[in-house]
Structure 1
C-alpha cells in the first residue's frame, strides 16, 4: 500500500501516562518486533486507550522511555504520528452514519491525494493521481477484508446500515489508505460474538503478517500476540471513569486534551481537509470525488 516500508519496532520501559485525574497507566513495558501484533488487555477504565494513543504519538508520555521505530517519545511525537494511523477510536475516527461507504472511501482517498502525498506527487497529472488513489483504496479494502460489492447496496450502503464487524473493517480500511507502518485499533473485539471475535483476531494477525505493526485494544488477546496488560499498572480507577458501553470515558477526556489529531483519518483533519478542498479551481473536483454534489 503506497510507500509503506514495513512495520516498526516498539520498545518501552516503565512507561507512564498522567492525566488531570492522576495516572492513567504506569510501569508499562513493551518489546515488539516490526510486524508484531501487540494486544493491550485490561478492564475498562484501566488506561488501555491512553496507552494506544501514546504509542501512536497522540498522547504525551509522562515517565519512562519509549521508542517507536527510530523515533523517541515524547520528544518525537510528530514523527510517530507520521508513520501511524488509528482505527475504531471513539471520538477520533468515528464514521459518519449519514454517509455511505463509497463516500467515506472517496473522501479518505481525496485527503490522501491532497495532503498525504509528496510535492512531486502533487505535480503529477490528475488522472495518474486518481488512478493511484483508486489502487490505494482497493488494496486497503482487500487488507481489511471488506468486500464493498457484497454489502446490501454496494458502495451506496449507509454506514448506519453496516453490521458492527463491517464497520470495524471499514474503519481499518480507511486507516490503511495512507500506508501506515503502525496501526492502532481500539476496542477491536468489543461486543462481538465468539465467531466474529475469531474473524477480527484473524484480520489483525493477517495485517501484522503483511508487515504492519499492529497495536490493538482487545478484551481477549489473539493467539501469538505480544500481550501488554494495564490491569495492574496503577491504583484501581475511579468507578465513575468507566463508560456504560465499555469504552473508557477517562481515556477519551485525556486523549481529547492531549491528542494532536494529525492523521488524515481523524476528525480534525477531515474538517480541515473539507475546508481546504473547497478552495480555488479544485472545488468542483473535490465535490465530485467526495460524492457530495
Structure 2
C-alpha cells in the first residue's frame, strides 16, 4: 500500500528513508533511521516492530540479508509484509512477500533498497531507481526525495495519494550539531503529498542548514539591519558605525525569533541566504 526508498550517502555516511502512500500519516509507521547504524522501511500490512528490531540488529553487526531472513522466519504474517534495509556500511536488502497486493516488488543494490506494493506497475520502482542513480551528487534528503517524486510521477500507489514522509540522520547533522537526527518531515493528509514534502524540505533547508559561505555586512546592509532591529523592538536604539556588542546581541535575538539561529554568524559577518530571506520579509 506504499512505495519507499531507503538510502545511504557513501560520501558522508548519511542514512534515510523517503516514503509515500494512499494511507494516513505513513511517516508514523514506515521509516526508521539511526545515524551510524542503518535505516529501515517496513510496509504492506506493516509490522512496526521491524523498524526498531532491524536497527537493533544492524547495531549489533548483523547484515541486512541476515536480518531479512530472520524476519521471514519469525513473522507468521510475513507473506503480506514488505520491507527494505540499508546498513551504515552500505549493505542492503529488500523483501516482498508473495501475498502483497499487485503490483508489488523492489530493487536492492549497494546503498539503496526500493520497494512498493499496490503500485500502478513495475515502472514505479524503475523510475525511482533511475532517479536515485542520476542523483548521486545530491545531498541525501534531496536524492531520496527526487526518487520518491519520480515514483509518484510514474504512477505511484494505484489507489491515489494521501501522505509522504522523509526521515534522515547523519553524523552531527541535527539541530545545533548536538544530534544525528537531521530531516524529519511529514505530509500526513494532503492531496499532493510529494509536492508538499518538497516545499517542506525547501523550508527546512532555509531555516536549518548551516551557512555554506559568509561575508562581512556592507555599511548599507548594517544600517538596514540596525533600523530593522530598532523597529522590531530588539533594541531601543543602536549606534552608527562599526559592528558592536549591542548590535550583536539584538541581531542574535532577532535570528532566534525568526528561527534562523542555525544560520547565525557572529562578529558582523552574514550568511547571504539568511540575509536575502530577512530582506524579503522586511523590505525597507
TM-score w.r.t. structure 1 length?
0.26
- The structure where strand makes up a greater share of residues is 2
- Structure scoring higher RCO (CA < 8 A, sep ≥ 6) equals 1
Larger radius of gyration: 2
TM-score w.r.t. structure 2 length?
0.27
